Every structure is written in structure tokens, then in C-alpha cells.
Amino acid sequence: MKKPSPRVERGEQFFSDGLSLYVNRVFEEFELPEHEHDFIEICYVWEGNGFHYIEDHTIRVKKGDLFFLPIGVSHIFRPSAHHPKDPLIIGNCIFDEKIFRFLTSILPVEYGLYLFEHINAKTDRFIQMRELSGEFGHLFESLHKEFQQKHMGYETMLCGLLLQLLIGMERALNREQEIVDPVTEKVEKINRYIRGHLQEKITLTAIAQHIGLGERQLQRIVSIHTGRSLSTLIQKERIDRSCRLLSDPSLASLTIADIASRVGIHDLTRFHYLFKLWMNNTPARYRLEKALQSSLL
């Protein structure tokens, strides 16, 4: 028998006063059916234990577990029993894609802040992690308190706390990678340094000193694990960033020269050459095609 489609929960059921961000704390029971939603959700296991059913996965959960659920992922929490000794209490922070994009993409690009990698790259599937010493719980307490009390400036405070939570999640994912593969983590550190300094002149010496490696060792690691030279890797990151900027409708007022400057290429002729080399297209044509694609969605 075909599995029935999950119920769709919509942000308009929760969002109000022009703020597309909502925080609650709920005691999970068996009445609520499996559902998906048109917003992004971060769920935190506040107390108790039970199960989290996500798509085709059944995951045993306990206090300190945290989940990032992108749009369209079906899920439901269930306590371990109908009348558990310790109830399963879940904190939910839900927000729309615009807020997520502003915090993880627009802010970093506009002001040279930390560029999200793991969460941005994995928005097509759920992410699971655990806190080390209550760091997610403290943030959820603050989020819930701000949302309930609604003091002056609470909207801005909520966005700031959400940004802290997202950074904390990135750090947790980085810790997991470091435990699994130290060499891969070094490659990630190299990539993070490059992405964080694209507007500047990036040198082999500066990266090596930042990572704590010798210059030859760094070049060898990059060559073995990426199949590219360091200079080629930097080129690719600059063109990848320029593609994101050119695709962003909120940055349509920027000229091609502005885009080139933002990725650290100040010679416009060279930027056109490198863009054509990597993308087999001109920057202007690429921007137009992306704008047409966006208008058809």
C-alpha cells in the first residue's frame, strides 16, 4: 500500500507581525501526524528521550540532540512510550528561507564575514548533531525567552541568536570532521582561509602560516587532495563566488567590475578571461541566463 503523503505545515500558520521566525517548546505526544513544512526548522531535544522519524530514518534521540531540517523533509518526534516517566520535550526554531539566506549568504558576502560551508551545502537533506556541554540548550533558552517576552528589539535579538546557533552548528560539524580525518580538516581549513580572504591578495606564505604547515607540505596536500595547484584552487573559489554574486537578484545593481573586485580580481580583462575559461560563458551572459531562469520559477 502506498504511504500517504505527509501533512504540509506552512509558515503562515506560525509567523506574525512581519517576522518570519517562530520559537516554541512542546511536549511530544502521539496525536500529531508525520508532516513536512515550507520553512526551515531546527529542532532541539530539550528533555527526555524517544524517537525521531525523518523520511525513511528512525533515530533514537535524547537530551542534547539537535536536527537541522530543510524545506520539504517529512518528520515526526515520538516519546518512548504513551506515558513515559520522562516526557519528550522538543524546542523548535522555525524561519523562512529569506532569513536563512540573509544570515548565511548575504551577510558574509556583503561584509566579509564567515562563509557557511556545511549547512549551506547540505540544505537538501537533514543534518544531525549533538551538543558537547549544553551550548545548544543555552541558545534555545535565550531564543525561547526573547520570543515569549517580546521586549524592545526582540526581532533583532532573535536573528542574532539564530546566527549564533548556526555558527555553533557549523563548529559542531567541523569537530566531527576533525575527529574523522585530520588531513581532510587541513584541506577544509585551507579552503576556509581562501574563501574568507577572496577580496585580498592571497599568498602561499600567509596560508601556510595560518594553517601551521610548511609551504611545500601545504602545496603537496592541496595537490593530492584536490587535484589542483593552490593558484588554480584560488581561481576556482573566486569564480565560484562570482557566480553566486551574479546569480543573486538582490545584487543586480552591482556592475561586473564590482563583482570582480569583490572576489579579488581587480583587472576586469583578466576577470573576463578567467570567467570564460572556467564557465565557458561571459559574466554578463551568465547573469542574464540566471535572471531568466529565476523569472521562470
For residues 161 and 196, membership in a common domain is answered with no
Residue with cell string 526554531: 93
Q: What pLDDT, on a 0 to 100 scale, did the predictor assign at position 128?
A: 93
User: Region 117-129: what's the mean pLDDT?
Assistant: 80
The more confident residue out of 297 and 246 is: 246
pLDDT of residue 294 exceeding 90? no
Is 23 exposed, middle or buried, given 0-12, 13-18 or 19+ CB atoms closer than 10 A? Answer: buried
Q: What pLDDT, on a 0 to 100 scale, did the predictor assign at position 63?
A: 94
For residues 220 and 161, membership in a common domain is answered with no
- 244 lies in which domain range? 183-296
Instruction: Give the H or E element holding residue 178.
Output: helix 154-180
User: Region 55-75: what's the mean pLDDT?
Assistant: 93
- Domain final residue, candidates 131, 148, 179: 179
**Alpha-carbon Rg for the chain in angstroms:** 22
Residue 69 cell numbers, joined: 531540517
User: Region 240-267: what's the mean pLDDT?
Assistant: 93
Q: Residue 235: inside a domain, yes or no? A: yes
For residues 169 and 225, membership in a common domain is answered with no
Residue type, 125: R
- Domain final residue, candidates 151, 179, 207: 179
Q: Residue 1: inside a domain, yes or no? A: no
Q: Residue 217: inside a domain, yes or no? A: yes
Query: Is residue 190 within 8 Å of 213, Cβ to Cβ?
Result: no
Integer Cα distance of 121 and 45 in angstroms:
24
- Domain final residue, candidates 114, 146, 179: 179
CATH number of the domain to which 206 belongs: 1.10.10.60
| pLDDT tens-digit series, residues 93-112 | 999 999 999 999 888 888 88
Integer Cα distance of 289 and 297 in angstroms:
13
For residues 171 and 205, membership in a common domain is answered with no
Give the strand order in the sheet containing 21-27.
21-27, 89-95, 40-47, 65-69, 127-130
Pairing of strands 89-95, 65-69: unpaired
| pLDDT tens-digit series, residues 172-209 | 888 776 555 567 778 888 999 999 999 999 999 999 99
Q: What pLDDT, on a 0 to 100 scale, did the predictor assign at position 4?
A: 58
**pLDDT-wise least confident of 166-180, 203-217, 227-241, 243-257:** 166-180
**pLDDT-wise least confident of 136-140, 148-152, 245-249, 263-267:** 245-249
The more confident residue out of 110 and 65 is: 65
Integer Cα distance of 257 and 253 in angstroms:
11
For residues 136 and 202, membership in a common domain is answered with no
pLDDT of residue 114 exceeding 80? yes
For residues 88 and 141, membership in a common domain is answered with yes
Query: Is residue 127 within 8 Å of 54, Cβ to Cβ?
Result: no
- Polymer length in residues for the chain: 297
Q: Residue 193: inside a domain, yes or no? A: yes
CATH number of the domain to which 66 belongs: 2.60.120.280
Number of domains in the chain: 2
Q: Residue 2: inside a domain, yes or no? A: no
For residues 153 and 207, membership in a common domain is answered with no
The more confident residue out of 179 and 277 is: 277
Query: Is residue 49 within 8 Å of 69, Cβ to Cβ?
Result: no
Residue 116 cell numbers, joined: 557557511
For residues 22 and 164, membership in a common domain is answered with yes
For residues 124 and 195, membership in a common domain is answered with no
Q: What pLDDT, on a 0 to 100 scale, did the predictor assign at position 120?
A: 76
For residues 198 and 255, membership in a common domain is answered with yes
**Where are the alpha helices (H) located in the chain, listed in sequence order?**
97-101, 107-111, 118-121, 135-149, 154-180, 182-196, 204-211, 215-226, 230-247, 256-262, 268-279, 283-296
For residues 130 and 64, membership in a common domain is answered with yes
Confidence band, pLDDT 50/70/90 cuts, at residue 47:
very high
The percent of residues above 70 in pLDDT, for the chain, comes to 94
For residues 189 and 275, membership in a common domain is answered with yes
